[in-house]
Amino acid sequence: MKNILLVCSSCMSTNMFVLRMIKSAKLMNFEANIWSSGSGNLEENVYKADIILLGPQVRYLFDKVKKMVNSQKPVLLIDLKDYSSMNSKKILQECLTY
């Protein structure tokens, strides 16, 4: 079971993306606990995750998050095109490599 955190600014569109990812994970038989968090709650959520995904609107946090987890966990940027099209399957396939 992988714990996957999606970080965004306010969780509005990311909650929809999380729901898509959960559906895709079930279809792919990929066991995952997937949730989102606003950037304001980053510290209390980042340590619970195995993989951290940053939405396009918070890509500026990439270096900060990498330092927070001492580069011991993958921190991935979600491509704007994939985010806009809700391409959750592609993002999950990237998570499968970790």
User: Among 8, 49, 58, 95, which one carries the catalytic annotation?
Assistant: 8
Handedness of CA 49, 55, 58, 60 (dihedral sign): positive
Per the annotation, the verdict on 8 as an active-site residue is yes
Amino acid at 11: C
Locate 22 and state its tokens.
């959960």
Contacts of 39 (CB under 8 A, 6+ apart): 7, 8, 9, 58, 61
Task: State how far the Cα of 61 lies from the Cα of 42, in Å rounded to an integer.
Answer: 10
Q: Which residues are catalytic?
A: 8
